[in-house]
Amino acid sequence: MKYVVLVNKSKGTNLGKFDIANTFMSRFMGLMFRRDLERGLILKLPNTRSRWGSAIHMFFMRFPLDILFTDSNKKVVDMISIEPWKTYTPIVPARYVIEMEKGTINKFDLDIGDELDFTSDCI
């Protein structure tokens, strides 16, 4: 299966392998109904999404997540750790929503303003 490698360019750390959700249906399904998190997910949102259109929900999720919201330059503009059955609207519109295992924000010392990149080193 294809994946991308997510890197924090600001701190020089590799955050691991992530799948990409870039179609309506893949974004709609996201990580819902999964029993565990094999790898994180990057949701690529349309350019025209507003702040409200960048919101996420945790309905039908079985585990908590850390979420990063980035702009079109892949700069972190908001982040949250969130439990199942909650919703969240970022403080500014996002182009990418990055869903990952809870604890990742602290583990990799992620901050608002960090510049991320994902490469297509796919297998």
Domains of the chain: 4-119 (2.60.120.1140)
Nearest Cα neighbor of 114 from 78, 82, 61 is 78
Instruction: Name the pTM for this structure.
Output: 0.88
Q: pLDDT for 6-25, tens place per residue?
A: 999 999 999 999 988 877 76
Structure tokens at 108: 């990799």
Residue keyed to tokens 């182009």: 95
Across 80-108, average pLDDT: 95
pLDDT of 95 > 60? The answer is: yes
Rounded Cα distance between 76 and 96, Å, is 9
Q: pLDDT for 30-81, tens place per residue?
A: 666 567 777 888 988 888 888 888 899 898 888 999 999 999 999 999 999 9
